[in-house]
Amino acid sequence: MIRLFSSNNRKFLKSVQKSEAELNRFLSENWNDFFPQYKFIKNEFTLDGYVRSKGTSGRIDILAFNPKAKKFVVVELKKDFDKNIRNQASDYKDFIEDNFAEIYLLSNQKYNVDLPKFNEISKENIELILIAKDFSHLDIEKAKKSKDEITLIRYMWFEDELLLIDYLNNDPLELIEKENTEKIKKIKAIIENKPVNDYITEIDMFFHKKDEAKRLYLIFYELLKSISTVEIEAQQTKVKVSVNQQTFSVIGFSGTGPRKAFLQINTNIDEVVALENLDIDDRVRPNAKKKGSLGVERYEVYLKNQNEIYSFFEVIKSKMKV
């Protein structure tokens, strides 16, 4: 359970219930703080005509525009969990595609939003942002497979007008980090006079001059592949690894320092604490405060050799019931 502590009030803040209208108003009034990458067009954007599959009218909670991708963005809000949130947003998406010229003119002329020329905007790839307290497993799977077309955001209200948001996919901060990593890789290629497109792999780049760390990572990667498909994203400070709804953050070391580890793998699998032969640090302290770390996972597992990799993997395999 998420708990929010206020150092000013010296207490844990209580979660509060607010209406969908209040959530809409709060996000609309603070739009540039929450979504600076999008242009705000209108909240409660009314659609005239046959919109919903079970009705003849509709109203988009918030309509926005993605200047980078040049496409409209539908933001659908729900006070709580709603199994129909994705279907409702998809109805709005279909309506915009079928009535694109009308939506463009309303946005540009009635609401005075500066948009690119009509023929420069994507008329079929409408982006969806769904915001609710929770989502179904199917919605999460669909969003992850859609790449950047569907973004899911969980939220919680707390007293003192505090709103907590949690990106389940397409976190803009992670996307920025990925872009920065790509820029650094290209700059390094130019400095070393190597073709950018033929440059060493991202993993080679990440574990540069840390051969043992790279070797242990590759063992870990091959073991995970025996479970299921593995998704990898080499970022500037870590390698993000995903398999069967589990994520891991991997950081490489040179084998020096107090722990003399070659690899740090962060995980949310609680069972790792039972591995007495491994050096494991719990980021959550007795006072319930979480110490800083690279990655979002709770436990930091420090690995010195391949035997420890195998022990760690056995816990993962057991957790996934392979």
Q: What are the structure tokens assigned to 214, written together?
A: 């790279």
DSSP H stretches of helix in the chain: 20-29, 31-34, 85-98, 100-105, 137-145, 172-191, 202-206, 211-225, 306-319
pLDDT for position 190: 46
Q: Poorest-confidence range of 7-21, 66-80, 300-314?
A: 7-21
Q: Exposed/middle/buried for 263, CB within 10 Å: 0-12, 13-18, 19+? A: buried
**157 and 17 in contact (C-beta within 8 Å)?**
yes
pLDDT for position 32: 93
Give 3-state DSSP helix, strand, coil % of the chain, rounded to 5: 35, 25, 40
Return d(Cα 32, Cα 40) in angstroms, integer.
8
Confirm whether pTM is higher than 0.85.
no
**268 and 290 in contact (C-beta within 8 Å)?**
no
Q: Poorest-confidence range of 162-171, 183-192, 253-262?
A: 183-192
CATH 3.90.1150 assigned to domain 201-319? The reply is: yes
* 196 against 174, higher pLDDT: 174
**249 and 296 in contact (C-beta within 8 Å)?**
yes
Cα 1 from chain centre:
19
β-pairing, 231-234 with 162-167?
unpaired
Average pLDDT, the chain: 86
> Nearest to residue 312, comparing CAs of 229, 234, 253, 246?
246
Question: What is the three-class DSSP state of 124?
Answer: coil
Query: Which residues, 6+ apart, have CB-to-CB distance to 178 below 8 Å?
Result: 233, 235
pLDDT for position 283: 87
Mean predicted confidence (pLDDT) in 109-138: 92
Supply the DSSP symbol for 231. Answer: E
**79 and 20 in contact (C-beta within 8 Å)?**
yes
- Angle of the 306-319 helix axis to the 211-225 helix axis, nearest 10: 30
- Taking 70 as the threshold, does the pLDDT of residue 25 lie above it? yes
SS3 string, 242-300, reads: EECCEEEEEEECCCCCCCCCCEEEEECCHHHHHCCCCEEEECECCCCCECCCCCCCCEE
For domain 4-170, give the fold: Trna Endonuclease; Chain: A, domain 1 (3.40.1350)
β-pairing, 299-303 with 279-282?
antiparallel
Domain boundaries, given as residue ranges, for the chain: 4-170, 201-319
pLDDT for position 199: 39
Query: Which residues, 6+ apart, have CB-to-CB distance to 137 below 8 Å?
Result: none
Mean predicted confidence (pLDDT) in 289-300: 80
CA dihedral 238, 199, 226, 313 (to 10 degrees): -30
